[in-house]
Amino acid sequence: MLKNIPKIISPDLLKILSEMGHGDEITIGDGNYPSASMGKQNHVLRYDTLDVPTILDAILTLFPLDTFVDSAVFLMDKPSNIEEPPIWKIYRDILKRHSYDREIGLIERFDFYARSKISYCVIASGEAAIYANIILKKGIII
């Protein structure tokens, strides 16, 4: 047992977060995200019973976001005819609680897929919200 590690952080996820270096990225996909095919060249972890905000909040208790770039957080952009997904505000609130004060980047769907394919890890969640996919870029601890 370890102290101060969120209970939803599995040993596998803890190992992956520890292995990641500065600039490595982790993708958290919603329930519709093709996590298995995006993760063919990297690690894939299944968190099918959890939503993205729960996973995001837990990861950010341990994971420093990169401060040497304009944005260390990226969302899959929505089509222009769709209003901003409500989950994006939830993400902004979680990021704010974890002292993230930089821009959140928006990445076109197929560019997001390409970037996810080179993520260190893809987490498959059970998130039901659409456009809930998020990429985090690891920073350093100063």
22 is catalytic: yes
Exposed e or buried b per residue across 86-114, where buried means at least 16 C-beta atoms within 10 angstroms of its C-beta? ebbebbeebbeeeebeeeebebeeeebbe
47 is catalytic: no
Exposed e or buried b per residue across 41-60, where buried means at least 16 C-beta atoms within 10 angstroms of its C-beta? ebbbbebeebbbbbbbbbbb
66 is catalytic: yes
Q: Which of 43, 77, 98, 113 is catalytic?
A: 113
Q: Which of 22, 48, 93, 111 is catalytic?
A: 22
Q: Which of 30, 51, 57, 66 is catalytic?
A: 66
Compute the C-alpha angle 137/116/118, nearest 5°.
85
Using the 8-state DSSP alphabet, how is residue 107 labeled?
E
- Residue in the structure block whose two tokens are 């102290």: 3
| Active-site residue set | 22, 66, 113
